[in-house]
Structure 1
Amino acid sequence: MEKGEATTIEVAESRREQKGKAPLLGGAYSRAAAAATGRKRGVAVFDLIVRICAAAAALGATIAMGTADETLPFFTPFFQFEASYDDMSAFSFFVIAFAIVTGYLALSVPFSIFCIAKPAAAGPRLFLVFGDILILTGATSAAAAATAIVYLAHNGNSATNWLAICQQYTDFCQTVSGAVIGSFIAVALLICLVLISAFALKKH
């Protein structure tokens, strides 16, 4: 009887210990889940801030390039030399491409806000990462094409007898150069957005 009673007491005590540990394990799990959700929400907030900055940079580059125009004074009003962005196909492509980039970034803001409200949702984040990569490709190509033309405008090319026009069209060159700088800021921010989305998906 003594052995049976001892066994019964040990089993009862072990059950009490298990019941006492279970809530502790559940509390630790809930705290870890809450911490992970907080990290995901923080990443989503950072994504929204970077996205808005990228949209502002892309919009500024689009407006600067689209308004680039300068007319040189000449002896008579019948002879005037004008430089405009639409005189060069690379600059026209730049304006169209970055207008699309700006529109996409503006439309993607609600998805970024949804990721803040629902940080565990993977669908909106997948949409953002694929959209960001596609837009990044177009923005990079447009910025690179415009950079080549701006370089020729500043330095010319003696092998092909292309003259540097920035000594005459100073305001035009300053405007298009500023647009190119803004475009590369937007490209850098888009790269950050892709990395942020990849990090957020990894946490899922």
Structure 2
Amino acid sequence: MDSKSTSYETAINMSETESTKQKSSSGAPIIATTKTISHNQKGGWRRGLSIFDFILRLCALATTLAAATAMGTTEETLPLFTQFFQFQASYDDLPAFSYFVVANAIASAYVVLSLPFSIVCIVRPHLVGVKLLLLILDTVMVAFTTAAAAAAAAIVYLAENGNSTTQWVAICQQFGDFCQRVSGAVVASFIAAFIFIILVVFSAVTLRRA
């Protein structure tokens, strides 16, 4: 009786061990496949954001370059002038407008230099260091372009409306073309600042889910 019971228990243990191995071996590929699918889905999601990031940078390049070019080429001379007096308005007559041109030119150069890094993020969406660098520099560009646009907007407001307290005369009634061009440049710079804000938000979201 003892020998029979011992052999019976051994058979049960062997069958349980074999069934356990079969379950573990059959379950392993399923787990690996699930991880691979999840990894591919995350990679595709990050690559899509990187492509959108590249498109936004092209838009930022267009707006900053347009703002700098429009302001830098703005000049108007009134037809009524004498031998000794000439009524002329130019962007470099005001330091705020000169700073505006420099700031948007720097922002344009930065966007051009950042495009290769954006392409690298498309090819390798799991890189964190490059995205962190772009996030920091984009934040700097937000402050840079916003300050330039705000300073120029204050001058444009004075040119349009004047100031009765300080007796500053509105010059846009005489220099209409000049005011239209500088106003368009300011609008383009604010659009560029808004695009940089979107870039910062997208970079932050990508890094948070990395």
- Give the shorter-chain TM-score range: over 0.9
Q: Could you tell me how far 1:79 is from its partner in structure 2?
A: 2.9
Name 1:180's counterpart in structure 2: 186
Deviations 1:89-136 (A, max 9, x none): 000000001100000011000000000011111111111011111111
1:75 shift after superposition: 5.2
Equivalent in the alignment of 1:160: 166
CA contact (8 A) 1:62 1:95 kept: yes
The residue that corresponds to 1:142 in the other structure is: 148
CA 1:42–1:75 in structure 2 vs 1: closer, same or farther (change >3 Å)?
closer
Aligned equivalent of 2:3: none
- Report 1:1-204 matches (<5 A): 1-74=7-80, 76=82, 78-204=84-210
Q: Once the 2 structures are TM-superposed, how far is the Cα of residue 3 of structure 1 from its aligned partner?
A: 2.4
Structure 1 residues 33 and 78: CA distance shift in structure 2, 3 A: same
Contact 1:69-1:84 at 8 Å conserved across structures: yes
In the TM superposition, what whole-angstrom CA distance separates every residue of 1:3-41 from its partner, at most 9, and x where no partner exists?
221221111111101100000000000000010011111
Give structure 1 stretches of 5+ with no counterpart. Answer: none
The answer to whether the 8 A contact 2:97-2:152 is kept is yes
Query: Alpha-carbon deviation of 1:78?
Result: 4.2
**Counterpart amino acid of 1:163?**
V
**Residues of 2 paired with 1:79 and 1:63: CA distance?**
28
Give the aligned residue type for 2:80.
F
Q: Taking structure 2 as the reference length, what is the TM-score of the superposition?
A: 0.95
Read off the aligned partner of 1:74 and give its amino acid letter: L
Compute the displacement of 1:138 (Å). 1.1
The AA in structure 2 aligned to 1:23 is P
Q: Structure 2: where are the runs of 5+ without partners?
A: 1-6
Q: String of CA shifts for 1:28-85, please: whole Å, max 9, x gaps.
A: 0000001001111111101000011011100000000001110001154543200000
Which string of whole-angstrom CA distances, capped at 9 and with x for unpartnered residues, describes residues 130-157 of structure 1? Answer: 1111111111111110000000000100
Amino acid at match of 1:192: I
- SS where residue 167 of structure 1 aligns? coil
Rg: which structure is higher?
2
- Paired with 1:134 and 1:106, the residues of 2 have a C-alpha distance of 15
Letter paired with 1:130: I
Contact 1:40/1:203 (8 A) holds in 2: no
Query: Which range moved further: 77-86 or 160-169?
Result: 77-86
